[in-house]
Structure formats: structure tokens, C-alpha cells
Amino acid sequence: MSMINGFTQDDAERLSDNEKRLIERRTRLLGPAYRLFYEHPLHTVRGEGVWLYDEQGRRYLDAYNNVASVGHCHPRVVEAITRQAGQLNTHTRYLQEGVLDYAEQLLGTFPDHLERVMFTCTGSEANDLALRISKQFTGGSGVIITRFAYHGVTGDIAELSPSLGPSMILPPHVRTVRAPDAYRLGEEQVASTFAADVRAAIADLRAHGIRPAAILLDGIFASDGVLADPAGCIAEGIALAQAEGLLYIADEVQSGFARTGLNLWGFQRHNVRPDIVTLGKPMGNGHPIAGLVGRAEVVDHFGRNMRYFNTFGGNPVSCAAGQAVLDVIRDEQLQQRSHSLGEYLVAGFKTLAERYPIIGDVRGAGMFLGVELVTDRNSKTPAAAQTRQVVNAMREQGVLISAAGPLENVLKIRPLLAFEREHADLLLAVAGEALAKIER
């Protein structure tokens, strides 16, 4: 993902001597590929609930980190990990009830046609495995993604992640389609445009002698700019792809586990039937557990022809963390809260839009919002520089968000599911202050 609001060496002069030493040490030990958020990087030492704390004890409202979705260091998740780590932690080549109990619980949250689960450690691995399964099942290699997608960092999946930057050149077997951007394409045109693009991509793959295998889509098109609506806009295109023999892989790494509110899974908003659904680390509230669920026919075909082993994918400690997350979502009614508080936040940002013309569009589902900033509402000219300013101004005021989109002008707001109304009000207030500052 392009570092829209990332730290650069030009920002270093404003830092303390200790921060400079940390950055120099980090660069020396980790190399240049790693990136830091914010012009003034955040030095975190502790997390609790919706808050992150820096080395000076200052707290920051976390409205961005999807991985610790039910709250940093949630006591029930910590206790489950600790208890299981003190009892047993090993791989899945031994019989264990914990992984089976969790698998049953997890599959119970999906539509009935998704009957199998396979575990990995990361969302990148899950997408990589889904791609392998799709290629084996279909006999093809062609993949369709959106133009600014992000799906992970393994070799094959990084090639399906153009948002990683201009150096990520798409391989010959990949085709891109426009994401369903109702703000720029028009709400009435989104579904037909998406379907036409899918049809053209399939035709072009075949024209080049490439057999299509899969269409891989993020459930809320986060890297494309957080594109939530209209609900159902991808259904025609997905049905067309599946009729042509492609498997539909629904990437729920960011949009899953109650993130989008009304549904536990983002794809459910669009009235589609995925062949495979991939999951990421929100599954264990940051503990390294991820995986995929899929149709029995698809997963079993792979299993009969290919042995699969992931040393610690689905280990007992990870499954204990995953079970605790499902329990917390249910017992604390986080899905219902995601829906109601998400609507409250959308309404709040629309109120800010009445005051600040730089807000061109407010969109989202549940606790996943995109606020698009433009210098002119008529021309929809992207306000990339101002977006960076807002993100960094909010960080200085103790609220953490990020930015997204190919035009680098969408505020990416992804509050922890543990948010309460008071936290939403703080987020809106600080966002208003930052917008007021850049419009002066």
C-alpha cells in the first residue's frame, strides 16, 4: 500500500534526539523496506481497549487498527491465550479437539454452502492458499482484481496487490477492473460498469491464451478508497464470472468479523455466493491466526491432489484466541454496535460535510468509513495534500486514522469494534478541528 501519510526523512528534523536514534537504529537493523506512519512517528508502548499509549504515557484513540478489532489486549482474549499456552501448543498433525470445536463455531457463522475451513497464520497466506486451490480446481491461472487492490505480501499475492506501489508490475496472467466507485462512476452505473469490466477481463485473458481461474475481491474495497455502496453492486459481475468457470474469492481480511455491521461478513451485503472466503488476523485479535472457508467440492478437490501443511496454522493457542474473539463479538454485541455506531459516525461526518466543502463524499458500512476530500465538489479534484494534513493533524491531537485510495485523498477510518458513543464523539470532534485548520 502506498504510504500516503507516511514518515519521510524530510520529517526527521522535527523529531527529538531519542526518536531520531530509534529511527536510525530501525533503518540499520530492518532495512529500508519498512515504513512508519505519520510525519511524527508514534512510539507505542502499551495498548488497552480503544487506546494506544506512547512512551510518555499519552493516550491515542485508535480509529484505525483493524487487527486488534475487539480492543487492544482484550482480557478474555489474553486469558484464553495464556491458559492454552500453559497447557499445550503444537501443530495440527495430532488429534486435538480445540481446533475442531473452533472450526465448527467458525463455519456456523457462514452460509451453509461453505463447509470446509483451512487455517494459516496470516491473511497473505490465506489468499495465497485460496489462489493455489483455485488454480488447481479450474486448471487455469488467470486472476481478476481491482485496479488498486491490496491482498497481501507473499510472492504470488503481492503480484495481485497494485497498491503496493508503482514498482509492483502486474504479471501477464492478471487483469484489473474498476472498483465500484459510486462517487466517481455514478451510483446508477456502478453495477453495469463492474459487470462489463469483468466480461472484458475474461475475454482478454482468453484472447491471450490464458485460462481464467479466479476473481479476488476485498469485501469493502478498502485500498480502492473504501467503497461500500450500493449494496449488491458486484452481484451481476460475480455471477457472470462464476458462470464462466471462475471461482470467486471473497477477501474478508479487512471487512470480516462484524466490521461492516449488519452482517458478520462483508460479502453478505452484496447477495453473492463466494466459492472461497479468506480471513486475516482480526480472527485472533492480532494473534497470528488466519484461514479460509470454502465449498467442500473445491477444497476437497485440492486436498485429494495436494497435501497441505502449515506448521502453526490452527495451533491450539491460536484457536483459543479465535474462539475468544467469536465469544466477545457475541457476548458484547459488537456486530450490533458496529452497525449502530457506524451509522452514527456516517451521520456525523455528513454533518461535517455541510460545514466543510472539502468533504466530497462520506461512505461506509459499519465501523469502516471512507471520507473523500476534494478541492472542488463539482470537478471532484482530489485533495491529496490536505488529506495528509488532516491525518497528521489528528494524530497530533491524539486520534489515529489513515488514508487510502488511488488518488490518495480518502480518510480511512476503521475504529475498533470496542468503541462507545463517547469515543465516536471524540473522533468527530478532532476530525472537525483538523478540517477547520486546513480550510483556514
Residue 2 has pLDDT above 60, yes or no: no
Q: How does pLDDT run across 37-75, given as a tens digit for each residue?
A: 888 888 999 999 999 999 999 999 999 999 999 999 999
Candidate from 18-22, 87-91, 428-432 with smallest mean pLDDT? 18-22
**Residue 63 covered by a domain:** yes
**Residue 326 covered by a domain:** yes
Helix (H, G, I), strand (E, B) or coil at 7: coil
> Taking a C-beta distance cutoff of 8 angstroms, is the pair 275, 213 a contact?
no
Identity (one letter) of the amino acid at 284?
Answer: G
Domain's final residue, options 331, 356, 384 = 331
Residue 10 has pLDDT above 70, yes or no: no
**Residue 2 covered by a domain:** no
Whether residue 337 sits in one domain with residue 319: no
Q: Which of 338, 370, 352 is nearest to 229 (CA)?
A: 370
Whether residue 143 sits in one domain with residue 56: no
Whether residue 159 sits in one domain with residue 82: yes
Question: Residue 1 — very low, low, confident or very high, per pLDDT cuts 50/70/90?
Answer: very low
**Residue 1 covered by a domain:** no
Whether residue 87 sits in one domain with residue 56: no
Whether residue 268 sits in one domain with residue 219: yes
**Residue 257 covered by a domain:** yes
Domain's final residue, options 331, 363, 385 = 331
Helix axes 316-331, 75-85, angle to 10 degrees: 160
- CATH number of the CATH domain containing 207: 3.40.640.10
Question: Domain range for residue 44?
Answer: 9-70+333-439
**Residue 337 covered by a domain:** yes
Whether residue 49 sits in one domain with residue 168: no
Distance CA 289, CA 427 (A): 30
- CATH number of the CATH domain containing 430: 3.90.1150.10
**Residue 4 covered by a domain:** no
Distance CA 374, CA 412 (A): 15
Helix (H, G, I), strand (E, B) or coil at 284: helix
Provide the percentage of residues in the chain whose pLDDT is more than 70.
Answer: 97
- Number of structural domains (the chain) is 2
Which pLDDT score, from 0 to 100, does residue 174 have? 98
For residue 185, give the C-alpha cell: 462512476
Whether residue 41 sits in one domain with residue 152: no
